[in-house]
Structure 1
Amino acid sequence: MRTASTILLPLLLLGAPLSGWAQATQPMTVSQKNPASREEFSVLTSDTQTKHGAYRQYGGRKGTVLLAEGFYMAGQKDSLWTEYFDLSSQPKAKGSYRRDQKVGEWEYYAPDGTLATRYDHTTNQLLFRSPSKWPNKLVIRPLSKDVVITEPPIALVGNDALARSVGMSVRYPVMALRNRVGGEVRVAFTIDSNGNTSNHRVVRGIGSGCDEEALRAVKSLHAEWIPASANGQPVASECEMPVVFAVR
């Protein structure tokens, strides 16, 4: 008669790269104070610079909130990965890696736990997109006057998650609070034809430190973008995003 542990072991192994168990590893923990964070992972005994096996990353204000978990194979992300919002246990994104690249269908979630987008990273196809609850205040422009954008760029995490991330990241500048300065700062940036962002800058500011803080918050987003397209071809575009400072 087989015991419960005999049955469970094969099932547990299905969640990790099977070939990874053949190599000797040792556990490691790396902590940082500013910002508070912690990584737990294993490295090859033969090469302690190479992650290999289960991985967990913690963050949040105290560095105790699970932000991501998955597996490494010889220093590269592999198999199933899940990312979480920093103020809840809600999944932010989940899907598979192969040789450090996202493959197959990935699901991206809004902060309330509902599905925002489903995207196939192998075929580069958007399979599902939920309507945003955040008013569409993003302004999209082509970089070239000769280009007519037929599909705007899309943040895979969804506009709601973008708004939440910026809102949670922004810290009201002391000078602005003291002088009761409030209003809307608009930050523009370029999204190239591969979905990479660059050239972040303030195009309309209100001063008193708010411009610099808005720029910092938007630059820290690190969101994945599907580039804009013109008649089915990916093109570069400019995105303008509002950051609101309200004195209460």
Structure 2
Amino acid sequence: MKRIILSITALFYLSTGLAQETVIRKHRLTDEITEKISVLKSDKATRQGLYQAVNEKNIAIASGNFENDKKAGVWHYYNPKGHLLQNYDYTNKKLLFEAPEDTTSSLRYFVDKQLTDTDRTTKPVKAGGRYFGYLPYLSVFKLPKDLENINRMVSYAVVELLVSPGGRLADFKVHIFSGESYHRVFNMSTNMPNEEDKVFTPATLNGEPIGCRIMIRCWIDNYGGIMMP
């Protein structure tokens, strides 16, 4: 019995010694959202363990876990009020839940085909949900200097994303509208910093993948950035 206890004790200390220590790193994702990322103490570039993104009201809009710097298991995504928008299983690359979308949504979807009453369609889906999943496209845009003084009260932005039938980001534009007639288009690079920001579950028409444009109406903030309501 003494030998068994000694063996168990030795295994406990061995596993403890092999466990990787982590620390929390904070990072501003946007002006309103802060990331809390568990990283290895020995290598702060490697994400390991719990991840959370919280807004200024300390409401989590994303939570999940990293394993060896990759998203693993089920992640949960919320809107700024804390309502669940999506559960996504990164280990099995599977959408588990997507909240219904109604007319109050900031997103609209368009296909280059005249639809009939009998057509069956599905919209494109972004891992990360309809709020957090689209933040990377908003965060790369800032108003140019010649538009910094634009009247925010009569101006807004529309982010336009083209998703190919293969589920890839094929085109990316930002439209700025102001007053009754001003409209300017900015062509953005589709070479996003993270590979996952180039990937969608494509729209379908009668069970077949089809290209689809996503239009996202946004506000222009005081810093020249854009954000969803």
TM-score by length of 1: 0.53
Cα shift at 1:158: 3.5
Counterpart code for 1:125 = K
Counterparts in 2 of 1:77 and 1:58: CA distance versus 1, 3 Å: closer
Counterpart code for 2:89 = D
Distance 2:30 2:73 in 1: 33
Counterparts in 2 of 1:87 and 1:233: CA distance versus 1, 3 Å: farther
Counterpart code for 1:243 = C
Query: Residue 88 in 1 paired to residue 57 in 2?
Result: yes
Distance 2:132 2:103 in 1: 9
- Corresponding position of 1:97: 66
2:19 aligned counterpart, secondary structure? helix
Distance 2:31 2:153 in 1: 30
Cα shift at 1:56: 0.9
Query: CA offsets, 1:96-115, max 9 Å, x none?
Result: 22232222211112211232
Mapping 1:75-224, distance limit 5 Å = 75-78=45-48, 80-132=49-101, 135-142=104-111, 150-159=121-130, 173-177=147-151, 182-192=154-164, 197=169, 199-202=171-174, 205-206=177-178, 211=184
Relative contact order, higher structure (CA 8 A, sep 6+): 2
Counterpart code for 1:228 = P
Counterparts in 2 of 1:163 and 1:201: CA distance versus 1, 3 Å: closer
Distance 1:193 1:76 in 2: 33
Aligned length in residues: 191
Query: Residue 69 in 1 paired to residue 37 in 2?
Result: yes
Give the alignment's Cα RMSD to 1 decimal.
4.9
Distance 2:208 2:69 in 1: 26
The unaligned stretches of length 5 or more in structure 2 are 1-11, 222-229
1:176 aligned counterpart, secondary structure? coil
Counterpart code for 1:112 = K
